[in-house]
Structures are given as structure tokens and as C-alpha cells.
Amino acid sequence: MGGGTRLENANPLIFQRSGERQLTTEEEDEEFADPIDDREIFDLIRTINDPEHPLSLEELNVVEQVRVRVNDNDSTVSVEFTPTIPHCSMATLIGLSIKVKLLRSLPERFKIDVHITPGTHASEQAVNKQLGDKERVAAALENSHLLEVVNQCLSGRS
């Protein structure tokens, strides 16, 4: 994160960004009850910045649309994210950023679960447990330093 420190993963693979979403005529109709779908959730999180590279989570393949599952009827959203390397120390911070982005963007009725893609991180269980503990997430977000780092990840890039 800080300038001059050695990067954990110096040469990450970079993936193609997906194009703009095509709006259907129904979606453009304000009267039409339009449930939130996977693509909309993906659009909310794909532009989140990686904490150590000037790249988005989508460009690093940390988030993919196929790993987003939303059920508007049940008000549930589940996102799996894939750290670029199995020992990535930023995994919790990345997961927290995804969680905060969704907490801020979605209606409050949604239950948001953020997990590491199974088998892609050495401390998968510990990170998942931490991200699933709303009391610890609440305490973390009262920490102004951490909140600043999260907000940096969430600040939009063009």
C-alpha cells in the first residue's frame, strides 16, 4: 500500500474489463419492478481498487460475475472473491471493501455474505469468519485509519 514497499505480487495477471451493461427496455421503464440481478451487484464491486496495484478488482480477476449470487426475493447477496496469491495479506481488507461497498449501495433489507473462493487462500476460514462477524466489522469501521484505507479502495476511477 505505502509507496516504496515491496509488492507482494509484483506481476499480477491482468484481465480484460467487461463492457458496459446493455439496458433492456424494461429496465429503462421506471414503472417496471426490476429485481436486482447478479450483473448489477457485479457492476457495484468490479471497479473497487486493489489496495496495492492501480488496477480494479475486475482487472485482477479478484471478482467475477459468475461468483456473484443475488436473490432479490430472499434479500440475499453472496460474493466470492479470489485473492491474487494464496498468502495475500490484503485478503481481509479486500473482502471488507466489497462488503462496505455493498452495505452502502444496497437497500438495508439485504443480507450480504462475502467469502473467499474456496481453496484460493491459506487462511480462508479465518478471513471468512472475520468478514462474517458483523460486530468486528462494525468495530473496524469505527477505526478512522482503516476506514480511510477502505474509502481509498472504493473511490471511483474512470
Partner 1 sequence: MKDSLKLVSKITAHPDSRCWFVAWNPKGTLLASSGGDRSIRIWGREGDSWVCKSVLEEGHQRTVRKVAWSPCGNYLASASFDATTCIWRKKQDDFECVTTLEGHENEVKCVAWAPSGNLLATCSRDKSVWVWEVDEEDEYECVSVVNSHTQDVKHVVWHPNQEILASASYDNSVKLYKEDDDDWVCRDTLEGHESTVWSVDFDKSGQRLASCSDDKTVKIWREYEPGNEQGVVCNGTAPTWKCICTLSGFHSRSIYDISWCHLSGAMATACGDDAIRVFEEDTTSDPHQPTFSLAAHVPKAHDQDVNCVSWNPKEVGLLASCSDDGDIGIWSYQPQH
Contact 81, 94 (CB under 8 A): yes
Contact 87, 50 (CB under 8 A): no
17: contact with partner 1 by CB under 8 A: no
Q: How many residues bind partner 1 (CB under 8 A)?
A: 12
Residue closer to partner 1 (CB basis): 30 or 135: 135
Among 132, 137, 149, 154, binds partner 1 (CB under 8 A): 132
What are the distances in angstroms from CA 92 to CA 36, 58, 128, 135, 150?
26, 17, 8, 15, 11
Q: Which of residues 52-111 bind partner 1 (CB under 8 A)?
A: 108-109, 111
Residue (of 94, 104, 89) closest to 48 by Cα position: 94
26: contact with partner 1 by CB under 8 A: no
157: contact with partner 1 by CB under 8 A: no
Among 22, 135, 157, 158, binds partner 1 (CB under 8 A): 135
145: contact with partner 1 by CB under 8 A: no
Among 30, 138, 145, 157, binds partner 1 (CB under 8 A): 138
Residue closer to partner 1 (CB basis): 18 or 143: 143
What are the distances in angstroms from CA 119 to CA 43, 75, 82, 89, 144?
25, 27, 9, 16, 32
Among 134, 151, 152, 155, binds partner 1 (CB under 8 A): 134
Residue (of 141, 88, 62) closest to 150 by Cα position: 141
Residue closer to partner 1 (CB basis): 54 or 107: 107
Owner of C-alpha cell 486493489: 50
